[in-house]
Structure 1
Amino acid sequence: MKPNEIRNNFHGITALRAIAASVVLIVHSSALLSFNHEISKLVILTNIGVDIFFIISGFIITYAHWNDFGRGAQGVKGFIRKRFVRIYPMYLLFTLITALALFMMPQLFFSLKSSFELLFSSLLFLPSKMANGDVTLLLAVAWTLSYEVAFYAIFSIAMLFNRRMALVVTSVALIAWSSLSLIQQDNYISNYFFTTLPIEFLVGMIICIIFKTSSSIPSIAPLTSGVLVVIAIITLYYLFFIAGFDTSELRSNTRFIYFGIPALIIFISFFNTPYSKKSTIRKVVEVIGSASYVTYLSHFLIIGVIKFIMKVIPGTQQLPLAITVIASCIICTVAGVFIHIYIEKPAISFFRKKKTREAIEN
């Protein structure tokens, strides 16, 4: 273990989570609250938040379980439980809230139709095909979790092997998964899952492997970080608007290029940055970053409430779109932090204590 690794809590990654969540809020607030306003083409660039999250996931899962390989079924069981506790309770909560809202106020939803089949498949992270051709989960923004869960499944199986073999197995599986996107698919579920996006998990894993096996990796200075972010923005703009990639599909096979490459540069610019000396800024960034998961899950519903209120209150639809989007992002962020502190953290603590009690009793 490198000397600085003991105290390295990756505060830069926490900040990156906060940034990724914020840019996702921008694109969805702009799309859902635009009313008659024209949306800038630049807004679509904020979709990069998803790709940043995927790279973070590949890095963090590998880093957090670096010493857990080769422990047999018990190690796999522990990994699955930790991942379940981390993602499923909040996903279940917001999926059920969405199901209730869809049942009671179907007019607020575009293509979704309330059904038990839609709810059941969504709880298993499997998409359903709507009458208009949309392929989605009940909680639409949670499509990324379908990929996360598949990644966890691959990683958990690989944990049966020693570290070296496990990392090889996981890498080969992710490459094979991505390669399936090159084969013509004949049903909506395979079309949904088989894209090149798993490469972004692999990129995060590779960065972690380099970090863990290198004798010394210096922290990234703020100036260097800023320069890399500028390079990422220029790269993003070039690949998106000039290079001519097809960006019409949410899970496009070229997405890992025009979003993935800039996301990689941004990740590198943040992941090993030094601890902020300004305690107030540090605390704000940490709480927003820690709440990023529930902010991501809840923001569609919250934006929906904002849209409903704006339809009721005269004059609000005429507000400049920039002001509406900023207000929406603030409201969604504050709501996410509140949910994180008062619901998510207690829920995670409850399940972890329950596991401890079970271990003692056994």
Structure 2
Amino acid sequence: MQDTLHSQSLAASPAPRAPDVIRNLQILRFLAASLVLFEHAQYEGVTKAYLDAAHYKVVDFFFWPGGVDIFFVISGFIMYTIGRQSFGKPGAAGQFILRRIVRIVPSYWFFTALMVLAAFVLKDSVSHGAMSAADIVRSLLFIPYLNAYGTYYPVLSLGWTLNYEIFFYALFAAALAFPRSTGLRLIAGALCLIGLLGMAGWVTMPVVEFWFNSIVIEFAFGIGLGWLYQKGTRLPVWSGLGLFAIGVILVIVAKHFKLDITALDYRALWLGLPALMMAAGLVFIERPENNGPVMRALVFGGDMSFALYLSHPFAINITGLVFGRLGLTSIPLFIIAAMTVALIGAALFYLLFEKPVTAFLNARLRQNKTTQSIDIAGKVKS
């Protein structure tokens, strides 16, 4: 099961904007998505029979799937930031879950449906094409299962990270029933205990073992980072950038010593902690006044990072089909073209589908909440 976390990357960690840290967090999200995009574009490039792999040297000094771990740290940070005032309040858990569903489900279901369609229409070009009706239902409901290939990938294989996200959201929602200090201890303690049990390899029951993975500790890292940020922790710019650089270097060192092969069970340590350093380095040097065109472009990249995460496999495969038809063989050209198509496609999907659909559903949630409040007030008054 652990091997499945190495062979596929991502987590897009869908998260709403936190106004006081949006810029650097969004940039980090864009960076994380780009790492995964490069990993998958390069992998497809070297495995396509019609591309010239003999004259291409694989760029593998960095563990590119580590973008997942960055996303998970960011997710913990954001969930604490948006939920810290909701602990102990009636109805907070339900509202939290509803907003998470609005944020994740429409786009994820869209691309899952597209994958199902592609699996039937393009059987020879789409991997993980073997699926049952039960597989599709479990994928849509974020329920892990062993597929026909003996892995825990859902129909849209990238969705394995969203299964962890939903698991984290459920734990966080349960913690909202308690006062903040108690709730935070419960959620952090649960995540660390589950991760440590997974690290020790003590849980081997099929399907259940999926949840018991050290990677869930990274959500706790993000919660701790959010707590420090709200307490006012800040760093000078060069100190923050230095901390970010140390995190990058540690991942390079871990990759050099092949920890991605020999120590995947301890992923939260050799990859999660550097991801935490990278996140902290950028978050603690946040400068809201910086809002130039480059900054706005990078922030937009963060805005569309969830769309990029979900859509990029389709963009890569489309690029591969075009290269095959045209007889193009250059892997560097393929990677550049695939990443360009993926970025353009993600931007269009974000602007035309994800953003308006999310805004519409959130407006409906606010309207329903207001109506319920009026109804309750009327009953109390009467």
Same fold (TM over 0.5): yes
> Contact 1:247/1:255 (CA < 8 Å) preserved in 2?
no
Q: 1:198 to 1:40 in 2, by over 3 A?
A: same
Which residue is equivalent to 2:97? 80
Give the one of 208, 211, 217 matched to 2:233: 217
Q: State the match for 1:69 in structure 2.
A: 87
User: In the alignment, what sits opposite 2:326?
Assistant: 313
Structure 2: distance between partners of 1:172 and 1:227: 30
1:231 to 218, 221, 246: 246
CA distance in 2, matches of 1:334, 1:160: 42
1:31-87: CA deviation from partner (whole Å, max 9, x where unpaired)? 112234245252651111100000000001001111011012x11111111111111
Question: Residue 258 of structure 1 aligns with which residue?
Answer: 270
Task: Tell me how far 1:180 sits from its aligned partner.
Answer: 2.8
Relative to the length of structure 2, the TM-score reads 0.85
- Give the CA RMSD over aligned residues: 2.1
Work out the CA distance in 1 between the residues paired with 2:61 and 2:315. 20
Structure 1 residue 100, shift from structure 2 partner: 1.0
Q: Is the 8 A contact 2:144 2:207 kept in 1?
A: yes
2:157 maps to which of 116, 140, 144:
140
Structure 2 residue 354 is matched with structure 1 residue 344 = yes
Q: Quick one: distance in 2 between partners of 1:233 and 1:355?
A: 40
Where 1:22 maps in the other structure, the secondary structure is helix
User: Which residues of 2 match residues 179-328 of structure 1 at below 5 A?
Assistant: 179-181=196-198, 182-213=200-231, 216-221=232-237, 223-242=238-257, 244-247=258-261, 252-272=264-284, 273-275=286-288, 277=290, 279-314=292-327, 316=328, 318-319=329-330, 321-328=331-338
How far does residue 279 in structure 1 lie from its aligned partner after superposition?
A: 1.7
Query: Which SS does the other structure have where 1:42 is aligned?
Result: coil
Aligned CA distance change for structure 1 residues 257 and 132 (closer, same or farther; 3 Å): same
Structure 1 residue aligned with 2:23: 11
Matches of 2:270 and 2:191, distance apart in 1? 19
Give the secondary-structure state (helix, strand or coil) at the position aligned to 1:343.
helix
Does the C-alpha gap of structure 1 residues 219 and 338 become closer, same or farther in structure 2, counting only changes over 3 Å? farther
The CA deviation string for residues 78-119 of structure 1, in whole angstroms up to 9 with x for no partner, is: 111111111111111111111111122222223431321110
> What do residues 104-158 of structure 1 show as CA deviations (whole Å, max 9, x unaligned)?
2222223431321110110111233333323311111111101100000000001
* Contact 1:174 1:199 (8 Å CA) reproduced: yes
Q: What code does the residue aligned with 1:241 have?
A: H
The 5-angstrom pairing of residues 126-137 of structure 1 reads 126-137=143-154
Ranges in structure 1 where 5+ consecutive residues have no aligned partner: 1-5
SS of structure 2 residue aligned to 1:68: coil
Judged with a 3 Å threshold, the aligned counterparts in structure 2 of structure 1 residues 343 and 187 are, in CA distance, closer, same or farther, namely same
3-state SS in 1 of match to 2:142: coil
Residue-by-residue CA offset, 1:174-219 (whole Å, 9 max, x unaligned)? 1121133124444441232211001100001111112223xx4335
1:325 CA drift (Å):
1.5
Change (3 A) 1:119 1:44: farther
Tell me the alpha carbon deviations over residues 152-174 of structure 1, each in whole angstroms, 9 at most, x when there is no partner.
00000010001011101101111
SS in 1 for 2:207: helix
- Ranges in structure 2 where 5+ consecutive residues have no aligned partner: 1-17, 373-382
One-letter amino acid matched to 1:57: S
Shift of 1:8: 2.1
Corresponding position of 2:7: none
Asked whether 1:50 is paired with 2:64, we answer: no
| Structure-1 separation of matches of 2:241 and 2:132 | 48
Corresponding position: 1:152 with 2:164: no
Change (3 A) 1:284 1:115: same
Correspondent of 1:101 among 104, 109, 118? 118
TM-score (norm 1): 0.89
Moved more, 172-181 or 336-345: 172-181
Kindly provide the amino acid, as one letter, of the partner of residue 241 in structure 2.
G
Q: Equivalent residues in 2 for 1:166-181 (5 A)?
A: 166-181=183-198
Runs of 4+ in 1 over 4 A off after TM superposition: none
Shift of 1:341: 1.1
In 2 relative to 1, CA 59–33 (structure 1 residues): closer, same or farther, beyond 3 Å? same
In the aligned structure 2, how far is the partner of 1:33 from the partner of 1:326?
10
In the alignment, what sits opposite 2:3?
none
Equivalent pairs counted in the alignment come to 347
In 2 relative to 1, CA 7–44 (structure 1 residues): closer, same or farther, beyond 3 Å?
closer
Aligned equivalents of 2:255 and 2:221: distance in 1? 20
Q: Secondary structure at the match of 1:114?
A: coil
Counterpart residue number, 1:24? 36
Give the AA of the match of 1:177: I
CA gap 1:43/1:298 in 2 versus in 1, 3 angstroms:
farther
Distance 1:58 1:323 in 2: 37
Q: Which amino acid aligns with 2:139?
A: S
| C-alpha distance 312-188 of structure 1, shift in aligned 2 (>3 A) | farther
Q: Which residue of 1 aligns with 2:341?
A: 331
